[in-house]
């Protein structure tokens, strides 16, 4: 419990951990939450981790925590930190996470609820049958070692070149689906081997594919720009870099412990092992991380291709006629080199977003032309029993959070605790009574991912919206879900 941490209330949605809390903190902690969510946040050691992250060399402004914050490896999940590269700023694998570029992509369709309401069970079963999911799952998209290297360099473009998508998909993907500067030589053979068979697979745990329906609109202008309406059917895909990303994090987290002594870095937790971004160790990790990020974007592109194929077969119409166009794909476990304003000066920063997503404002040069007016789409999925949200980024996010928002509801119970307390059969009945069809690879996954294991995403999004770091566009409720 973190109940002893002295939080200073800034306003109804912002709380500060003062630098005086721990000698060695270089900046304060800044937590986005309301009174209700704070009670949940105090359940674990996440706030202690926010204070620990504030020790990182080169960190600027604040060690940030989004409203979905919970305990993680080194950094809390829902943590954001930016370090000034010129001032010896560091990069930390714990600030990215094990599932590098875990992320979400959201597709719209021109189907209405009435078109699918009597077919949803068959559709979900077909998706579950045709899309590989679960721990260690292997897909039909087989790649050679040479092709895997191409994926690590090209990301989503590799999939598009193979016929698994279009250039429009790339335009609507963060970084156009590939970060420049990836180097397969920085990736261990074990990591490469783990990734080779897993392209186009959903994975396990909180990864999912969900068919949803829009049940509330908040911003008419943004909804019109995105061509979204009440009752419209949507599809969300949540997956990451699978075993490849996990192995890269494991390799570099362990290896960077030696960097602490080498560069005279003092942090209160070895899980915050890091190295200056400009050092050989920092550059090697960044190159390997980019490989995993590109692999993940390619993976989600392949998953979207498989999803479109299922819809085509199921409805007997091409995916284009079904209007299955990508709204956006955002990463939420990543570090990026970005330019931001710090105390009136433009600085090159290494922005860690762990369990946090980019939320760039209208007009930002990184956005596709069609989103320049409304801002970057921000996707915040909930659990399989509640809602998910589409929002847009804001100028306030650029000023306060380095253009970041939260990535989901955030866990309330550990997986072990959920397994002990939740009966999968009862859960399936409860979800079925709400009209939600669920197919999962294992009973344990159902219990681990039960709605009661998560914070209420509606509360989390209220904080993000009311704090002004993202703006609600619409809300979706689940119709059917497949999980690993």
Tokens for 60?
């600027």
Largest Cα separation within the chain, whole Å, is 65
Whether the Cβ atoms of residue 7 and residue 27 lie closer than 8 Å to each other: no
**In 326-410, at which residue ranges do the beta strands (DSSP E only) sit?**
326-331, 333-342, 345-354, 356-358, 377-380, 388-393, 404-406
Residues 121, 481: Cα–Cα separation, whole Å: 10
Q: What is the DSSP string of 196-236?
A: HT-TT---STT-EEEEEEEEEE--HHHHHHHT--TTEEEEE
Residues 32, 15: Cα–Cα separation, whole Å: 7
CA of 343: how far to CAs of 25, 338, 346, 347, in Å?
A: 19, 16, 8, 9
Tokens for 148?
């895997």
Domain count of the chain? 1
Residues 64, 402: Cα–Cα separation, whole Å: 10
Tokens for 447?
């219990």
> Which of 475, 307, 481 is CA-nearest to residue 385?
481
The contacts of residue 118 (CB under 8 Å, 6+ apart) are none
Query: Does residue 2 fall inside a structural domain?
Result: no
Residues 64, 126: Cα–Cα separation, whole Å: 41
Neighbours of 183 (CB within 10 A): 15
Task: Please tell me what DSSP assigns to residue 360.
Answer: P
pLDDT tens string, the chain, 484 residues long: the values are 455 788 999 999 999 999 999 999 999 999 999 999 999 899 889 999 999 999 999 999 999 999 999 999 999 999 999 999 999 999 999 999 999 999 999 999 999 999 999 999 999 999 999 887 644 545 566 678 888 899 999 999 999 999 999 999 999 999 999 999 999 999 999 999 888 766 666 655 567 899 999 999 999 999 999 999 999 999 999 999 988 999 999 999 999 999 999 999 999 999 999 999 999 999 999 999 999 999 999 999 999 999 999 999 999 999 999 999 999 999 999 999 999 999 999 999 999 999 999 999 999 999 999 999 999 999 999 888 899 999 999 999 999 999 999 999 888 778 788 888 888 888 888 888 888 898 887 777 788 888 888 889 999 999 999 999 999 999 999 999 998 6
The contacts of residue 395 (CB under 8 Å, 6+ apart) are 361, 362
- Could you tell me which residues are beta bridge partners of residue 346? 341
Query: Does residue 432 fall inside a structural domain?
Result: yes
Task: Please tell me what DSSP assigns to residue 173.
Answer: B
Query: Does residue 3 fall inside a structural domain?
Result: no
Task: Please tell me what DSSP assigns to residue 475.
Answer: E
Residues 37, 46: Cα–Cα separation, whole Å: 13
Q: Which domain holds residue 119?
A: 8-483
> Which of 304, 279, 410 is CA-nearest to residue 354?
410
Which residues form the catalytic set? Answer: 407
pLDDT of residue 10: 98
Neighbours of 437 (CB within 10 A): 20
pLDDT of residue 1: 43
Residues 97, 86: Cα–Cα separation, whole Å: 24
The contacts of residue 225 (CB under 8 Å, 6+ apart) are 370, 373, 374
Query: Does residue 398 fall inside a structural domain?
Result: yes
**Angle, vertex CA 305, rays to CA 130 and CA 290, nearest 5:** 115
Residues 265, 407: Cα–Cα separation, whole Å: 30
Whether the Cβ atoms of residue 394 and residue 361 lie closer than 8 Å to each other: yes
Cα-flanking dihedrals φ and ψ of residue 378, to 5°? Answer: -120, 125
Query: Does residue 224 fall inside a structural domain?
Result: yes
Range list of H helices, 437-479? 443-448, 457-467
Whether the Cβ atoms of residue 218 and residue 475 lie closer than 8 Å to each other: yes
Query: Does residue 1 fall inside a structural domain?
Result: no
Whether the Cβ atoms of residue 34 and residue 12 lie closer than 8 Å to each other: yes
Query: Does residue 202 fall inside a structural domain?
Result: yes
Helix axes 242-255, 189-196, angle to 10 degrees: 160
Neighbours of 264 (CB within 10 A): 7
Residues 245, 357: Cα–Cα separation, whole Å: 18
The secondary element (H helix, E strand) that includes residue 368 is: none
pLDDT of residue 471: 98
Residues 367, 95: Cα–Cα separation, whole Å: 24
CATH code, domain carrying 142: 3.90.1860.10
pLDDT of residue 142: 66
Indicate left, alpha or beta for 375 from its phi (over 0: left) and psi (-120 to 50: alpha): left
Query: Does residue 374 fall inside a structural domain?
Result: yes
């Amino acid at each position: 419990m973190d109940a002893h941490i002295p939080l200073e209330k800034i306003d109804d949605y912002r709380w500060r951990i003062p630098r005086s809390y721990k000698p060695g903190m270089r900046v304060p902690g800044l937590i986005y939450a309301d009174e209700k969510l704070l009670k949940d946040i105090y359940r674990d050691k996440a706030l202690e981790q926010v204070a620990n992250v504030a020790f990182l060399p080169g960190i600027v402004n604040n060690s940030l925590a989004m409203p979905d914050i919970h305990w993680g490896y080194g950094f809390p999940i829902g943590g954001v930190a930016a370090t000034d590269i010129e001032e010896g700023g560091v990069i930390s694998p714990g600030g990215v996470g094990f599932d590098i570029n875990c992320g979400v992509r959201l597709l719209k369709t021109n189907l209405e609820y009435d078109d699918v309401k009597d077919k949803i069970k068959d559709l979900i079963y077909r998706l579950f049958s045709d899309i590989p999911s679960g721990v260690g799952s292997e897909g039909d998209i087989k790649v050679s070692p040479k092709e895997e290297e191409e994926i690590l360099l090209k990301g989503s473009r590799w999939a598009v070149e193979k016929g698994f998508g279009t250039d429009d998909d790339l335009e609507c993907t963060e970084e156009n689906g590939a970060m420049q500067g990836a180097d397969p030589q920085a990736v261990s053979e074990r990591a490469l081997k783990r990734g080779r068979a897993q392209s186009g697979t959903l994975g396990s745990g909180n990864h999912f594919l969900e068919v949803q329906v829009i049940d509330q609109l908040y911003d008419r202008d943004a909804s019109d720009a995105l061509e979204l309406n009440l009752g419209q059917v949507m599809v969300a895909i949540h997956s990451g870099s699978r075993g490849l990303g996990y192995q890269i994090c494991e390799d570099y987290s362990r290896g960077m412990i030696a960097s602490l002594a080498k560069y005279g870095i003092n942090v209160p937790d070895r899980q915050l092992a890091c190295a200056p971004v400009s050092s050989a160790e920092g550059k090697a990790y960044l190159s390997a991380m980019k490989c995993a990020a590109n692999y993940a974007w390619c993976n989600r592109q392949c998953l979207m291709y498989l999803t479109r194929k299922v819809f085509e077969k199921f409805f007997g119409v091409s995916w284009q006629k079904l209007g299955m166009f990508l709204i956006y794909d955002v990463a939420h476990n990543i570090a990026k080199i970005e330019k931001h304003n710090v105390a009136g000066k433009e600085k090159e920063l290494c922005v860690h977003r762990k369990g946090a997503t980019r939320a760039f404002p209208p007009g930002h040069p990184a956005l596709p032309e069609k989103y320049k007016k409304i801002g970057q789409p921000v996707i915040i999925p909930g659990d399989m029993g509640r809602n998910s949200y589409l929002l847009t980024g804001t100028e306030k996010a650029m000023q306060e959070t380095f253009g970041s928002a939260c990535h989901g509801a955030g866990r309330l119970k550990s997986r072990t605790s959920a397994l002990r307390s939740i009966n999968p059969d009862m859960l399936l009945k409860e979800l079925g009574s709400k009209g939600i069809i669920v197919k999962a690879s294992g009973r344990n996954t159902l219990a681990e991912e039960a709605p009661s294991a998560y914070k209420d995403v509606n509360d989390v999004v209220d904080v993000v919206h009311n704090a002004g770091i993202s703006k609600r566009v619409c809300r979706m409720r689940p119709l059917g879900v497949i999980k690993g």
